[in-house]
Amino acid sequence: MKNDLSIYVLISFFLEDVGKVELHCEKNNKAHKTNDISVNRLIVRRGQSFLVTFELHGPSRPTTDLLELKVETGPQPSEALGTRSVFRLPEGCGKGSSWKVKVHQGSVFLAGSITLDITSPADAPVGEYRLSVKTSATASVGSSLGKLLLLFNPWCKEDWVHLPEEEERQEYVMREQGLVYKGSDKYISSMAWNFGQFEDDIVDICLKLLDVNPKCLCDPAKDFSARCNPIYVSRVVSAMINANDDRGVLMGRWDGRYDGGMSPTHWNGSVEVLRRWLKNGSNPVKYGQCWVFAAVMCTVLRCLGIPCRVVSNFQSAHDTDKNLTIDYFFSDYGVRPKQSPDSVWNYHVWVEAWMRRPDLSAGSLYDGWQVVDPTPQEKSTDVYCCGPAPVKAILQGHVDLKYDVPFVFAEVNADRVTWMVFADGSKKKISTDSVSVGQNISTKAVGSDKRVDITANYKHAEGTKMERAVYNLAVKRVNIPGENSNGTHDCKPGVSMKIVELTKPVSGKNIDLKLILNSNDSETRTLVINVNVQAMRYNGIPSSQIQTELKKLKLLPNQGRVKMFQTLSVSRPTRFNYHSSAHREAFTSQNKGN
């Protein structure tokens, strides 16, 4: 410290005027892994030092004044909120300051300039900062040293987004090209996506996105302060990617009509979408669906420094009432007298972001991957956003944690329950499918274009006791009363049915199907088979009627029967949804199957 103090005394012989400033943008940005964004502006990551050199000139005079630096972000900077910090030489001076500065080793201060090592705290708010310096206590204002952009730092152990493995940091922060998985659980396809998080102007668009979010417009000082927290930032970004209740990036549309915009299938990268949003004056780009929402969010988070990846869930449930079941209602003739708001999507795409969750546990119980979903499905605290929901909490059935864990749990592990609705409006559960929801949850592999199945991260293997135990625990924790909410059947149906595809569904081609009927009874059943075939969009919304067929047949005791049927040729790019119901002419609920 004695040697350092002698340096500061020598420095103070210069007048407080500051001359030429060198921010060492190329050198600093390379050290901070931001040179792909720019080498002409200072972009650094929090918790890591960077260099600044500036000249001190003018007639000298002896003084013991110390250098005082100041950083500020946002329109109303405050030391109490962490958006303003004053720090001084020698290192550590500056009451309450968490920013640090020291003279860079080898600094040639006697030549009239000084190079400083400046380090931001690992929990500083991200965003653009103004940096200034005072070289004398008598100076009324400091001299500007310029601006710097501060990002999250996955390389810093103290940062909440720290990701231990370098190979994963390269994949989930630095990689600009990726894959998004679509299709169905039996026919998974991939599409290439250009995230382009380091393209020119994307970082400024990401900051603009934060600046126009409703929380910032309502209370900018509080919002800028909260940007220290990746939990808060990811939640804001989730809300701002969709335009349902703010000036978000994308307007969603699922009805097949895209007048005034582009079909969601038009997009193959995020850069064009984000630039259009900015060019349109922060008005939404038309149109997006789940994979577009998720991929654009991945771009924003990676640009800001939060590790993330795009994840696809096949047979993804949309549980509107948070009872962890997807309910279907049928009358005795196979008609749906009651339309359920619940649905099962062919696939759904969201984002996983990596961060700590000290708000949920004193330890690291829920740290790691968090589901954040920008597709507007259900509101969360009155806003169309979802997450961050810890994947570890979903695996354990801890659905009483924030944010939106019950909804995501249902997406991957809800039971599909079929109800028979009687003429008087009463209903009875006739079957439960506890297996089909949440299949082949997929993401791109680290360092290659292979698909990785991460279903085991979300739930235990279907059919195991552990999976049922976790599901029952989740139902208990979600605390919504209901009939037989433990997923057991009210009764064992007298007839069971299964539809099997004999040929792959190909646009413009007929599909061969097989309906397998099995009797569990000891007496002959006379059945009426009502087969209804619909084309449905990937999110479970019916598109058109294809075929209906009504047949009578007898099913012998404890025997099975196979019936063949064929759909009409269909050319539209939708999935098929097959329904069949059977009832005995002298109807009793015991003879129902679906």
Residue 382 and residue 516 in one domain: no
- Among 120, 151, 182, the domain-final residue is 151
* pLDDT at residue 484 is higher than 50: no
Residue 213 included in any domain? yes
| CA pair distance 113, 108, nearest whole angstrom | 6
Residue 588 included in any domain? no
Residue 213 and residue 300 in one domain: yes
Residue 510 included in any domain? yes
Q: How would you class 588 by CB atoms within 10 Å of its CB: exposed for 0-12, middle for 13-18, buried for 19 or more?
A: exposed
- Among 478, 505, 532, the domain-final residue is 478
Give the number of domains in the chain: 3
Residue 240 and residue 278 in one domain: yes
Residue 580 included in any domain? no
Residue from 32, 348, 398, 460 carrying the catalytic annotation = 348
Residue 138 and residue 173 in one domain: no
Q: What's the whole-number mean pLDDT along residues 408-413?
A: 98
Residue 331 and residue 190 in one domain: yes
531 in Cβ contact with 580 (< 8 Å): yes
Residue 226 and residue 375 in one domain: yes
**With the C-alpha atoms ordered 487, 407, 359, 173, is the resulting torsion angle positive or negative?**
positive
Q: What's the whole-number mean pLDDT along residues 251-275?
A: 96
Q: Is 53 strand, coil or helix?
A: strand
Residue 6 included in any domain? no
For 64-104, how does the pLDDT look when each residue is reduced to its tens digit (9 = 90+)? 356 889 999 999 999 999 999 999 876 655 554 589 999 88
Residue from 25, 290, 303, 386 carrying the catalytic annotation = 290
| CA pair distance 353, 349, nearest whole angstrom | 13
Q: Show the tokens assigned to 10.
A: 């020598």
Residue 340 and residue 371 in one domain: yes
373 labelled catalytic: yes
Residue 435 and residue 508 in one domain: no
Residue from 308, 373, 398, 404 carrying the catalytic annotation = 373
Residue indicated by tokens 């003279």: 103
Q: What is the pLDDT of residue 494?
A: 64
Q: What is the pLDDT of residue 154?
A: 98
DSSP 213-231: SHHHHH-HHHHHHHTT-HH
Q: What is the pLDDT of residue 40?
A: 95
Residue 120 included in any domain? yes
Q: What is the pLDDT of residue 137?
A: 57
This prediction has a pTM of 0.81
- Across the chain, mean pLDDT equals 84
The DSSP element (H or E) to which 190 belongs, if any, is strand 188-194
For 6-26, how does the pLDDT look when each residue is reduced to its tens digit (9 = 90+)? 333 333 333 346 678 899 999
pLDDT above 90 coverage of the chain, percent: 61
Q: Is 491 strand, coil or helix?
A: coil
Which CATH number belongs to the domain containing residue 557 in this structure? 2.60.40.10
Residue 2 included in any domain? no
Residue 248 included in any domain? yes
Q: Show the tokens assigned to 521.
A: 């009874």
Q: Is 293 strand, coil or helix?
A: helix
Residue 432 and residue 507 in one domain: no
Residue 188 and residue 73 in one domain: no
Which CATH number belongs to the domain containing residue 444 in this structure? 3.90.260.10
Q: What is the pLDDT of residue 567?
A: 57
Residue 206 and residue 264 in one domain: yes
Binding-site residues for Ca(2+), in ranges, read 413, 415, 462, 467
* pLDDT at residue 490 is higher than 50: no
Q: How far, rounded to the nearest angstrom, does the alpha carbon of residue 190 sit from its chain's CA centroid?
A: 19
Q: What's the whole-number mean pLDDT along residues 392-415?
A: 97
Eight-class DSSP state of 124: P
583 labelled catalytic: no
Q: How confident is the model at residue 568 (pLDDT cuts 50, 70, 90)?
A: low
Cα distances (Å, whole numbers) of residue 324 to 73, 415, 437, 460: 43, 7, 11, 16
Residue 533 belongs to domain spanning: 495-569
DSSP 56-85: E-S---------EEEEEESSS--TTTTSEE
| CA pair distance 104, 91, nearest whole angstrom | 11
Binding-site residues, in ranges, read 413, 415, 462, 467
- Using only C-alpha atoms, what is the Rg of the chain? 30
93 labelled catalytic: no
Q: How confident is the model at residue 166 (pLDDT cuts 50, 70, 90)?
A: very high
Q: How confident is the model at residue 566 (pLDDT cuts 50, 70, 90)?
A: low
Strongest mean pLDDT among 112-121, 274-283, 422-431: 274-283
Residue 449 and residue 521 in one domain: no
